[in-house]
């Protein structure tokens, strides 16, 4: 039974900050919407949402609406961009369901997604001719600009007092640098969200303050480092959604090679960021301990000030929610906007998040030697047997 939504209290010394980290993954992002719904209904509304690409779009809808409007806006968005299926996918054999999904995916390539992107008519770029940089793509995303304007209240999003903090990432085209846009540091607009999802060559870069930006997933598809590098450090419960799988079988067909290539390209690099954070955490801890061992006459006020700026010991608990997939190893799974697939992903995200919330209930927040603790979801069999 789904519980009635309740207001989420603000972070306090006795309650950790709650962060939600969302990858890029196109149509797979419906899974993220289900994750948020479960958090919302179980009093785990995030204080901070960090997203890239479709994760940035979901994050903007969450942060850009008042609490009671978030789930309806997410549902309206995903229903609007999903394609009707030729058959009821729940009532047909798996082979028929796979064929129907392929047909829907081919339709997406040919005609785009209403409210999201559409093929450019008479496009010189498609035949190798130069075009203005903002038009250097196969599809136009002007429809997405209108959709974001409809579903995201940017005045509310940029209200530092009441809103959820939003961070989105994008890559500066001319130098390949990853840039984060943070509502705690600046007002965010439609352009910042669209830049985070401007994946070439399908989508054109977006110009912000004179610079062109592409999808942040080209550099780091899981923006976990934004949470790890945030200063000052504080106790945080982080729900991290993984849409791609670094591990997988050896590919034997062209389709399997393409699928494995995408998974490897966009899979989480979070462990690398966590390892770097742990080294930094231990160095900070050692510096504070060494300072305390100094004789009082050697403890300079300037040193104490610098140590204070490093922040106190804190713990980040990361609950990883991996999308299990129901995509028949399709390389185009991120372009599969089939309505049945969208609905399945949403529900799967909801169910997985409920399991993740149970895991989070046992996360202790006290000074630790580790700094970061990663929790994997237990197998479904373990959940069923208690």
Q: What pLDDT is recorded for position 14?
A: 62
Q: What pLDDT is recorded for position 350?
A: 97
Q: What pLDDT is recorded for position 384?
A: 33
pLDDT at 367 over 70: no
- Give the separation between CA 229 and CA 242, rounded to whole angstroms: 20
Instruction: Kindly indicate the confidence band of residue 293, based on its pLDDT and cuts at 50, 70 and 90.
Output: confident
Q: What pLDDT is recorded for position 368?
A: 60
- Taking only the tens place, the pLDDT of each residue in 181-235 is 999 999 999 999 999 999 999 999 999 999 999 999 999 998 898 998 888 888 9
Nearest to 89 by CA among 273, 344, 305: 344
Q: What pLDDT is recorded for position 310?
A: 62
Other CB atoms closer than 10 Å to residue 144's CB: what's the count? 23
Q: What pLDDT is recorded for position 54?
A: 98
- Give the separation between CA 371 and CA 315, rounded to whole angstroms: 5
pLDDT at 385 over 50: no
pLDDT at 361 over 70: yes
- Give the separation between CA 144 and CA 137, rounded to whole angstroms: 15
Parallel, antiparallel, or unpaired: how do β-strands 316-322 and 236-242 relate?
parallel
Q: What pLDDT is recorded for position 13?
A: 53
Instruction: Summarize the confidence of residues 74-90 as an average pLDDT.
Output: 89
Strand partners, 18: 237
Q: What pLDDT is recorded for position 255?
A: 87
User: Between the ranges 22-26, 246-250, 261-265, 280-284, where is the mean pLDDT highest?
Assistant: 22-26
Other CB atoms closer than 10 Å to residue 97's CB: what's the count? 21
Q: H or E element: which one contains 207?
A: strand 206-208
What tokens appear for 156 in the block?
A: 């509310």
**Please, are residues 62 and 164 in contact by the beta-carbon 8 Å criterion?**
yes
Instruction: Kindly indicate the confidence band of residue 1, based on its pLDDT and cuts at 50, 70 and 90.
Output: very low
The single-letter DSSP state of residue 26 is G
pLDDT at 383 over 50: no
- Give the separation between CA 216 and CA 56, rounded to whole angstroms: 10
Instruction: Kindly indicate the confidence band of residue 72, based on its pLDDT and cuts at 50, 70 and 90.
Output: very high
* Least reliable range by pLDDT among 41-55, 122-136, 305-319: 305-319
Nearest to 179 by CA among 192, 166, 198: 192
Nearest to 101 by CA among 347, 344, 324, 349: 344
What mean pLDDT, rounded, does the chain reach? 87
Q: What pLDDT is recorded for position 328?
A: 77
CA-based radius of gyration for the chain: 22
- Give the separation between CA 211 and CA 160, rounded to whole angstroms: 26
The single-letter DSSP state of residue 65 is S
Parallel, antiparallel, or unpaired: how do β-strands 139-140 and 118-119 relate?
antiparallel
Nearest to 19 by CA among 43, 49, 42: 49
């Amino acid at each position: 039974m789904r519980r009635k939504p309740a207001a989420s209290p603000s972070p306090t010394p006795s309650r950790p900050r709650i962060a939600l980290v969302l990858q890029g993954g196109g149509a797979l992002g419906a899974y993220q919407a289900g994750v948020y719904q479960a958090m919302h209904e179980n009093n785990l509304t995030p204080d901070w949402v960090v997203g890239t690409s479709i994760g940035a779009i979901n994050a903007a809808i969450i942060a850009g609406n008042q609490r009671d409007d978030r789930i309806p806006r997410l549902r309206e968005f995903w229903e609007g961009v999903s394609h009707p299926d030729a058959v009821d996918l729940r009532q047909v054999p798996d082979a028929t369901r796979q064929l129907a999904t392929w047909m829907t995916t081919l339709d997406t390539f040919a005609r785009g997604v209403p409210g999201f992107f559409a093929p450019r008519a008479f496009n010189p770029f498609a035949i190798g001719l130069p075009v203005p940089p903002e038009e250097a793509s196969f599809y136009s995303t002007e429809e997405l600009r209108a959709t974001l304007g409809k579903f995201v209240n940017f005045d509310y999003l940029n209200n530092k007092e009441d809103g959820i903090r939003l961070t989105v990432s994008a890559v500066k085209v001319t130098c390949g640098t990853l840039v984060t846009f943070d509502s705690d540091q600046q007002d965010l607009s439609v352009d910042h969200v669209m830049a985070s999802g401007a994946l070439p060559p399908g989508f054109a870069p977006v110009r912000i303050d004179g610079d062109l930006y592409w999808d942040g997933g080209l550099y780091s598809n899981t923006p976990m480092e934004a949470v790890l590098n945030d200063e000052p450090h504080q106790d945080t419960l982080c729900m991290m959604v993984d849409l791609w799988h670094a591990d997988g079988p050896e590919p034997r067909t062209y389709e399997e090679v393409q699928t494995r290539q995408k998974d490897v390209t966009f899979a989480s690099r979070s462990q690398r960021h966590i390892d770097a954070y742990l080294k930094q955490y231990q160095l900070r801890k050692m510096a504070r301990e060494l300072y305390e061992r100094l004789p009082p006459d050697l403890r300079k006020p300037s040193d104490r000030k610098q140590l204070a700026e490093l922040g106190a010991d804190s713990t980040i608990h990361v609950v990883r929610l991996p999308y299990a997939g129901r995509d028949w190893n399709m390389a185009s799974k991120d372009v599969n906007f089939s309505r049945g697939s969208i609905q399945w992903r949403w529900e799967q995200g909801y169910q997985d998040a409920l399991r993740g919330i149970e895991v989070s209930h046992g996360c202790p927040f006290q000074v630790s030697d580790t700094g970061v603790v990663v929790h994997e979801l237990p197998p479904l069999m373990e959940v069923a047997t208690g």
